[in-house]
Structure 1
């Protein structure tokens, strides 16, 4: 896989350097507008299928209040995003020897008042999640609408990443993070690049 197969807007060297130095990276203007619009339509047309999110083994917890829909091959538009992440995983394996084998992903909807408290996606290497990614797919967002990703980097510094449209935030899955309360409906795709086979 050559980097040229990834979207041209991705600064591959910068992304890899940020992941190496800080444990996280941000990519803006990820996809062309036409694709973003198709993706938003696919997400919003399926909102009635979303269910309350769980944390472990299907247990619903009060540390999070978002709603999700797991992505499979029947969601054609979102599957293209997953395929891009699979291509990018090959680069991560080449540079960081992460052994990523698969990607699991779901649409996420945070309605006004919803949040996700401080947690790690892979605490103490208890699962195969290596890299976490959040792609923000709402078409408009204002800074005072909340819903930020609050993240502690690998150097123990805290960052607040705004959920700007057509942005990806990606970070090591063992880093501590939270989603601050949203004041408007916030739509995204959360995906994990895994060193094992994802089971949806």
Structure 2
């Protein structure tokens, strides 16, 4: 794949400062409309292949109820998003010495009534996830549709982050967070910037 440079709307200095000060950052107006359309088409055309995320190794847990599809090389449009995150990772490594060298990502669909309870993506440094990112892919969103990211920052302050279309929420993977129950279908790409290499 050709080299993908970060979109001009990504203010890297602001991202680095927000991560340093608060442990999370928000990027709005992430991609141009033509890419958003193509990515949404790729996501929605594969919805029948999504599996319930709460079922792992045949066992049901109660912490989450969304549906996911892991992103691999066959999902060509989503790979451009992964490449953008790889480019950003170079900046994160230079600033914070995180050693990020791989991206793990999946499409996520929260249908009405679905949620993800309080958790950490990397509790007590037990895995290689360093930075978590959520890119909101749905075409529109209203504040009363639920589906918000409820996040505790590195200073122990809580934030409600609205899943606005074409927005990335990015945060340290060891921070406590949850996805509030959605009242409308919510589409996204969740990606983890890892300091190890994970092959699905």
TM-score, normalised to structure 2's length?
Answer: 0.96
Q: Which residue of 2 aligns with 1:135?
A: 135
Structure 2 residue 39 is matched with structure 1 residue 36: no
**CA deviations over 1:23-49 (Å, ceiling 9, x no partner):** 000000000011001101100000000
Q: Which residue of 1 aligns with 2:92?
A: 92
Shift of 1:61: 1.1
Structure 2 residue 180 is matched with structure 1 residue 151: no
Change (3 A) 1:95 1:55: farther
Distance 1:57 1:27 in 2: 35
Distance 1:14 1:59 in 2: 42
Shift of 1:127: 0.3
- Match of 1:191, SS state, is strand
Structure 2 residue 124 is matched with structure 1 residue 124: yes
Change (3 A) 1:14 1:59: farther
Q: Which residue of 1 aligns with 2:60?
A: 60
Matches within 5 A, 1:5-24: 5-24=5-24
Change (3 A) 1:126 1:110: same
Aligned-residue RMSD, C-alpha: 1.3
Q: Which residue of 2 aligns with 1:76?
A: 76
Unaligned runs of 5+ in 1: none
Which runs of at least 4 in structure 1 moved beyond 3 Å after TM superposition? 54-60
Change (3 A) 1:59 1:26: farther
Q: Which residue of 2 aligns with 1:170?
A: 170
Shift of 1:60: 3.2
- Match of 2:187, SS state, is strand
Unaligned runs of 5+ in 2: none
Distance 1:62 1:139 in 2: 29
The answer on whether the counterparts of 1:52 and 1:60 sit within 8 Å (CA) in structure 2 is no
Number of corresponding residues: 197
Distance 1:103 1:127 in 2: 13
Distance 1:41 1:59 in 2: 31
The answer on whether the counterparts of 2:54 and 2:62 sit within 8 Å (CA) in structure 1 is no
Distance 2:55 2:122 in 1: 12
- Match of 1:17, SS state, is helix
